[in-house]
Amino acid sequence: MDGLRDPGIRKVGSQSSIDTDVFDITRLLDRPRAVNIDRHRSLDERAMSEHSVMGNAKASPNPNVVDAWDALRRSLVYFRGQPVGTVAAIDYQSEEVLNYDQVFVRDFVPSAMAFLMNKEPDIVKNFLLKTLRLQSWEKRIDRFKLGEGAMPASFKVLHDSNRKTDTVVADFGESAIGRVAPVDSGFWWIILLRAYTKSTGDTSLAESTDCQKGMRLILSLCLSEGFDTFPTLLCADGCSMIDRRMGIYGYPIEIQALFFMALRCAFALLKQDAEGKEFIEKIVTRVHALSYHIRTYFWLDFQQLNSIYRYKTEEYSNTAVNKFNVIPDSIPDWLFDFMPIRGGYFIGNVSPARMDFRWFALGNFFTVLSSLATPEQSTAVMDLIEERWEELVGEMPLKVAYPAIEAREWQIVTGCDPKNTRWSYHNGGSWPVLLWMLTAACIKTGRPQIARKAIELAERRLAKDGWPEYYDGKLGRYVGKQAKKFQTWSIAGYLVAKLMMEDPSHAGMICLEEDKAMKPALKRSSSWSC
């Protein structure tokens, strides 16, 4: 099962240590769009013979970068004198703070990546430990006790200047709009723990008793047995970045991709002791089934669309081709024009008699970054972005979902949500934070020119507009009608994208090589690396 292990971490017995090989993909920055990458060589191996063309020239400071770092540092939150995270936004013009003055687990990830890439890991370590302690709290919402492994959506530090004390208040969903607990917080925490370990070479944090227990508790929640016939994770609306009702209930691609990534990261970090081995075995079983399911049933390209268009219904037995009994007439009209001959993507959701054909950016990028997508599928995802640049990128990267839902469908699906009107917020709005995920995917697939073009677009307006949370309109031309200014993850997403383009080895914190252990007849050795 060596393929499950990520290439930056070596495991020996119950101890793990960071591989000293440098993760670098530098020459990819000059590759033409249509190159064929040698899929049999690891990213590390390719990097050994390549050099960066962007890291050689020391240009004068980019004013956007200087402004971004200044804003990011102003967003820092301190607990007893130690930085423990960054607030969601510092909007000086808004009177409604809501929960934007809190540290969100999800939102802090790009901030953490920026600090790690800038050789400032202490704040990331502090954050990981602080949220881990919050996980141990007893969590009750309306007299109902949440699962022990649940991570908070966010937390806030209250400073009492009179008593000179700091108090942390956590939100596990009891204060959130819609009262939905975040399914993705635990996944982001594991992913960030692996990024910290990869970046610093410090395995002591991940190997600590508390972190090992924290990972096992998170895995206990999502690997528990139930009535499911699918390996995907059943989720309600509002449990992820799409944090309001948007019709993603069921098996949203964003959660499945993060779930897969977290499983692989946990596999790399768990000790092979008595408690760890039980979860390692469960991870292997789930990863095999999940990868097959997503690659087979969520994937859509021109050929697959044509097959669905010709589906027969009411098929019975295990030989059925239309396994979910999807009615071809449910294919939306926009899809036939949107689907290019070259390219493809993972659709938003699959369940009985239902296929949500919308494009969701975060889910697709993480299928690439985690190698949930095959190399061919990863290439096709990047092809789609190029082929449908105006629809998915437009004037401000990047559409969180496409297309927007409108009219009566909007009323039914969103519950007439005034924030998710057409081409706004999560309903077809453009989110600059997605820039770092796009850049990492571009580096991993050898398509840096896509990232360069997107970063250049963002630099034209992002700082000038005050680092908005999101943009509105089909092309992302307008600052979002309810967008907060100085949104921290918009700032950090830009910085991470720039840092990765300057030094592609940083992508090693988030990219995982293709998993050879997807094949059957696997064995786990006690001493190995990959």
Six-digit token string for 133: 């302690």
| Angstrom distance (rounded) from CA 526 to CA 11 | 8
The mean pLDDT value for 209-222 works out to 96
Residue 434 forms part of a structural domain? yes
Q: Give pLDDT, residue 529.
A: 31
The mean pLDDT value for 406-427 works out to 97
| Angstrom distance (rounded) from CA 268 to CA 528 | 11
Q: Give pLDDT, residue 488.
A: 98
Range of weakest confidence among 89-98, 130-139, 313-322: 89-98
Q: Into how many domains does the chain fold?
A: 1
Residue 16 forms part of a structural domain? no
Residue 15, pLDDT > 80, answer no
Residue 157 forms part of a structural domain? yes
Residues 6+ apart with CB under 8 A from 453: none
| Angstrom distance (rounded) from CA 188 to CA 215 | 11
SS (H, E, C) 303-330: HHHHHHHCCCCCCCCCCCCCCCCCCHHH
Residue 2 forms part of a structural domain? no
For residue 516, name the pLDDT band (cuts at 50, 70, 90). low
CATH code of the domain covering residue 132 = 1.50.10.10
Higher pLDDT, 86 or 17: 86
Q: Mean pLDDT score of the chain, rounded to an integer?
A: 86
Q: Are 491 and 467 in contact (CB under 8 A)?
A: yes
| Angstrom distance (rounded) from CA 295 to CA 284 | 17
The whole model's pTM is what? Answer: 0.87
Q: Are 326 and 298 in contact (CB under 8 A)?
A: no
Q: What is the pLDDT of residues 139-192, one digit of tens each?
A: 666 666 777 888 999 999 999 988 889 999 998 877 777 777 789 999 999 999
Residue 42 forms part of a structural domain? no
Query: Which of 367, 495, 375 lies closest to 435 in space, CA to CA?
Result: 495
Q: Which domain holds residue 299?
A: 63-509
Residue 485 forms part of a structural domain? yes
Residue 34 forms part of a structural domain? no
- Give whole-number Cα distances, 56 to 27, 62, 102, 114, 199, in Å: 12, 16, 39, 20, 21
For residue 43, what is the enclosing H or E element? helix 43-48
Residue 190 forms part of a structural domain? yes
